[in-house]
C-alpha cells in the first residue's frame, strides 16, 4: 500500500488563543479514529516497516506482520487520539526471534572487533541522517518537544559511535597473570583472562527516551559480541522501530537484532523469563523490581525511578540554582528519572530562591511539542491523573501554591509547591510531571536525611560556593550520582550512571554497560617447570 502523504502540520492545526493545544484542530473536526496528524512515520525511507495499518515487528532480518492479526494502539498524548498501531506479537514469534538471535550471536562473536565497530558507525550515520523523520515520531508518540526530540536522536548517534570506539579499545585488552604472586606458588602457570560475549541481551527501554535508552543498551551489547532482543515501550515503540530499521540498513547479520512489540504486561514475562535470554538491561519504573524477582540466574542492569533531591545552602548562587531547577526539573515536563523531584532549601534563603523560580516558571511556554513548547502534554491520562492526585494531596494537607493548578487533557501547567511537609505524598513519590515540591530546612542534616530516607537513590545535587562542604555533603548523600552546582543528569553518556536502593541494579554509562554485557574467560597454561622471563 503506498504511503499516505498528508499536508504539513501548519495546514492541519488551528491553535486557538484560549487553548494552545489546538483543540479545534482538523483532527478533532474529523472526529474519532485514527488521527490525521501529519507524520513522516513509516514513509519514504521507512516505508518497509509499515503495512499501511500497523508497524511491523523485526526478526530474522525481516520486517514481519504478526500471525496474531492483533495490534496495540498508541495514543498521541497531545491529541488523545490513536496515532499509530504496532503488532501484538505471539509467544511463538517471541520464541523464534530469540532462537534466531542465539544462532546469529554465535557468528557475531567471531566477527572481528573492527568489523563490529564499522557496522555500528554505519548505524550511527544512518540514524543521524534520519533525525528529522525520527524526531517527528517522538513528537507524535510521546509529545517530546521537537527540539528535544532531534537532540535525542543526534545524542543517540553519538552514543553508538562512542560505544564502537570504546569497545574496540576495551575488548582488545585482557589480563595476563602469573601464578607466583600468590603465596606458595612458583611461576609455572600463566593465566590469560579475556572478556567474552554474554549471549542474547534483552533490552527494555522506557517511554521517555525510547531512542537513547534503547541504543544505550543495544550499542554496548553489539560491540561486545552479543545479540539483542529489543522490547520497546508501547509508547515509543514506533520511534524504536525506526532506529531498528537503521540497524537493518547498516548490514548487521540477519537475526542478530530483533524488535518484538506488544504490551509489556502481556509478553513481558515471556521475554524476561525466557531461557534463551542471557542478560536483561531494563530502564523504567518499579516494574523493574518485579522483573528482578522473576529473572533467572542472569546479570541484570536496572535503572528505575528517582526522587532526585536538590539541597540549596545559604551561600548558594541562587540565580544558578533557580536556572538549574527550571532546566533540571521541568524539561520534558519533568518526565526524566534524573529530574529534580524535591528541593530542600535552607529557610534563610528559601523565599528568595522560590521567587526566582516562580519568576522563571512564568516564562515557560506551555503547549504542543510541534511548537517546541517547554511544557508539553505528559505521556498518558493515567500519568496526568497520578500527578493530579499528588498535587491534590499536598493541597489538602496545607501546602502553599505559587501558581493555579491548571490541566487540559494531558497538558499540565508547571507549578512549584511550597512549604511541603513530610506527611505529604509529594515529599516522597515521583510525579514524573511538571510539579516540584519545596521543603524548607533549618539544617543541612535535615536535607541529607530527607535524601537518604527515600527508597529511591538515583541522583541528587547541591548548590553551594564552598567546595569542601559540597564534597562532605555529597559523601553523605546515599545516591548513585551527586551533581555539585548543577542539576542531575545522565549525560554525557560515557559517565557512569547508576541508581542505588530501589533506583537500580548495576551501573550504566557506555564503558560500564559494555563490561556488564560480557563475562570473563580464563585460559591457564601449565608449564612443566617454573619459568621466569629474563631481560
Ligand atoms: N528510570 C527511568 O528513566 C524511568 C522511570 N520511569 C518511572 O516508571 C514509571 C512508569 O513509566 P513506564 O514507562 O510506564 O515504566 P514501566 O516500568 O511500566 O515500563 C518500562 C518498560 O518496561 C516494559 N514492561 C512493562 N511491564 C513489563 C513486564 N512485566 N515485563 C517486561 N517489561 C515490561 C514497558 O513496556 P510497555 O510500555 O509495553 O508496558 C516499557 O518498555 C514512571 O512514572 C516513572 O516513575 C519511567 C520511565 C523512565
Ligand atoms: O531515564 C531517564 O529519564 C534518563 O536517563 C534521563 O537522562 P537525562 O538526564 O540525560 O535527561
User: Could you give the domains of the chain?
Assistant: 56-303 (3.40.605.10), 308-484 (3.40.309.10)
Tens of pLDDT, residue by residue over 347-377, are 999 999 999 999 999 999 999 999 999 999 9
The predicted structure's pLDDT at residue 33? 44
Q: How far is the CA of 509 from the centre of ligand 1 (A)?
A: 20
C-alpha cell at 252: 548487521
The three-point CA angle 426-428-430 to 5° equals 70
Buried b / exposed e across 414-437, counting CB within 10 Å, b at 16+? bbbbbbbeeebbbbbbbbbbbbbb
Spatial separation of the C-alpha atoms in residues 141 and 240, rounded to whole Å: 11
The predicted structure's pLDDT at residue 51? 93
Going by the DSSP 8-state scheme, the letter that residue 453 receives in this structure is T
The active-site residue, picked from 141, 303, 370, 430, is 303
C-alpha cell at 528: 612443566
The active-site residue, picked from 337, 344, 373, 461, is 337
Spatial separation of the C-alpha atoms in residues 330 and 374, rounded to whole Å: 8
Q: How far is the CA of 292 from the centre of ligand 1 (A)?
A: 13
The predicted structure's pLDDT at residue 43? 83
Tens of pLDDT, residue by residue over 199-232, are 999 999 999 999 999 999 999 999 999 999 999 9
The predicted structure's pLDDT at residue 39? 54
Cβ neighbours of residue 182 under 8 Å, at least 6 residues apart? none
Spatial separation of the C-alpha atoms in residues 373 and 375, rounded to whole Å: 6
Provide block-wise average pLDDT over 10 residues at a time, the chain (535 residues). Answer: 40 35 38 46 91 96 97 98 98 98 98 98 98 98 98 98 98 98 98 98 98 98 98 98 98 98 97 98 96 95 97 98 98 98 98 98 98 98 98 98 97 98 98 98 98 97 98 98 98 96 96 98 98 92
Quick one: which of 198, 379, 202, 160 has its CA closest to 288?
202
Quick one: which of 96, 34, 99, 38 has its CA closest to 71?
34
The predicted structure's pLDDT at residue 16? 34
Q: How far is the CA of 207 from the centre of ligand 2 (A)?
A: 11
Q: How far is the CA of 234 from the centre of ligand 1 (A)?
A: 9
| Residue 410 near residue 383 (C-beta atoms within 8 A) | yes
- Is 53 one of the annotated active-site residues of the chain? no
Query: Exposed (0-12), middle (13-18) or buried (19+): which is 11, by Cβ within 10 Å?
Result: exposed
| Residue 215 near residue 128 (C-beta atoms within 8 A) | no
- Is 337 one of the annotated active-site residues of the chain? yes
Residues in contact with ligand 1 (CB, 6 Å cut-off): 204, 206-208, 231, 233-234, 263-265, 268-269, 272, 283-285, 287, 291, 303-305, 337, 430, 432
Residue having the nearest C-alpha atom to atom 23 of ligand 1: 264
Residue having the nearest C-alpha atom to atom 9 of ligand 2: 489
Best residue among 288, 337, 431, 499 to mutate for probing ligand 2, ranked by most atoms within 8 Å of CB: 337
Residue having the nearest C-alpha atom to atom 3 of ligand 1: 337
The predicted structure's pLDDT at residue 335? 98
Spatial separation of the C-alpha atoms in residues 84 and 35, rounded to whole Å: 9
Spatial separation of the C-alpha atoms in residues 282 and 328, rounded to whole Å: 23
Amino acid at each position: 500500500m503506498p504511503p499516505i502523504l498528508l499536508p504539513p502540520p501548519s495546514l492541519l492545526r488551528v491553535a486557538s488563543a484560549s487553548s494552545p493545544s489546538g483543540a479545534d484542530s482538523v483532527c478533532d473536526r474529523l472526529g474519532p479514529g485514527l488521527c490525521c496528524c501529519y507524520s513522516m512515520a513509516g514513509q519514504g525511507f521507512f516505508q518497509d516497516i509499515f503495512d499501511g495499518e500497523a508497524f511491523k515487528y523485526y526478526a530474522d532480518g525481516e520486517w514481519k506482520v504478526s500471525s496474531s492479526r492483533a495490534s496495540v494502539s498508541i495514543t498521541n498524548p497531545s491529541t488523545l487520539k490513536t496515532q499509530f498501531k504496532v503488532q501484538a506479537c505471539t509467544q511463538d514469534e517471541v520464541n523464534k526471534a530469540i532462537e534466531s538471535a542465539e544462532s546469529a550471536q554465535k557468528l557475531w562473536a567471531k566477527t572481528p572487533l573492527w568489523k563490529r565497530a564499522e557496522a555500528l558507525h554505519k548505524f550511527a550515520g544512518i540514524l543521524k541522517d534520519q533525525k528529522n523523520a525520527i524526531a517527528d515520531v517522538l513528537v507524535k508518540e510521546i509529545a517530546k518537544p521537537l527540539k528535544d526530540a532531534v537532540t535525542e536522536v543526534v545524542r543517540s548517534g553519538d552514543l553508538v559511535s562512542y560505544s564502537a570506539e570504546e569497545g574496540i579499545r576495551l575488548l582488545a585488552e585482557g589480563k595476563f597473570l602469573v601464578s607466583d604472586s600468590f603465596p606458595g606458588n612458583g611461576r609455572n602457570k600463566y593465566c590469560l583472562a579475556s572478556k567474552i560475549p554474554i549471549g542474547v541481551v534483552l533490552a527494555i527501554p522506557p517511554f521517555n527516551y525510547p531512542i537513547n535508552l534503547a541504543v544505550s543498551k543495544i550499542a554496548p551489547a553489539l560491540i561486545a559480541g552479543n545479540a539483542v532482543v529489543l522490547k520497546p515501550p508501547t509508547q515509543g515503540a514506533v520511534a524504536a522501530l525506526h532506529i531498528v530499521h537503521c540497524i537493518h540498513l547498516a548490514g548487521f547479520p540477519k537475526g542478530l537484532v530483533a524488535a518484538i512489540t506488544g504490551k509489556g504486561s502481556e509478553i513481558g514475562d515471556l521475554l524476561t523469563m525466557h531461557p534463551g535470554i542471557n542478560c536483561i538491561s531494563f530502564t523504567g519504573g518499579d516494574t523493574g523490581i518485579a522483573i528482578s524477582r522473576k529473572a533467572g540466574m542472569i546479570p541484570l542492569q536496572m535503572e528505575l525511578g528517582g526522587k532526585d533531591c536538590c539541597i540549596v545552602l545559604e551561600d548558594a548562587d541562587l540565580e544558578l540554582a533557580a536556572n538549574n531547577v527550571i532546566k533540571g526539573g521541568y524539561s520534558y515536563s519533568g518526565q526524566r528519572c534524573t529530574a529534580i523531584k524535591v528541593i530542600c532549601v535552607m529557610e534563610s534563603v528559601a523565599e528568595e530562591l522560590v521567587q526566582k523560580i516562580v519568576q522563571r516558571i512564568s516564562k515557560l511556554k506551555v503547549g504542543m511539542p510541534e511548537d517546541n513548547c517547554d511544557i508539553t502534554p505528559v505521556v498518558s491520562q493515567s500519568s496526568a491523573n497520578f500527578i493530579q492526585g499528588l498535587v491534590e494531596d499536598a493541597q489538602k494537607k496545607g501546602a502553599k501554591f505559587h501558581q493555579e493548578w491548571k490541566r487540559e487533557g494531558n497538558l499540565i501547567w508547571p507549578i512549584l509547591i511550597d512549604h511541603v511537609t513530610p506527611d505529604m505524598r509529594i515529599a516522597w513519590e515521583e510525579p514524573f510531571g511538571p510539579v516540584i515540591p519545596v521543603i524548607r530546612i533549618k539544617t543541612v542534616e535535615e536535607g541529607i536525611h530527607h535524601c537518604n530516607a527515600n527508597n529511591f537513590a538515583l541522583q541528587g545535587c547541591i548548590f553551594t560556593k564552598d567546595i569542601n562542604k559540597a564534597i562532605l555533603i555529597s559523601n553523605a548523600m546515599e545516591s548513585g550520582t551527586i551533581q555539585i552546582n548543577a542539576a542531575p543528569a545522565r549525560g554525557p553518556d560515557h559517565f557512569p550512571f547508576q541508581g542505588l536502593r530501589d533506583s537500580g541494579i548495576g551501573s550504566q554509562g557506555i564503558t560500564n554497560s559494555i563490561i556488564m554485557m560480557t563475562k570473563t574467560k580464563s585460559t591457564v597454561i601449565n608449564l612443566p617447570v617454573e619459568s621466569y622471563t629474563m631481560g
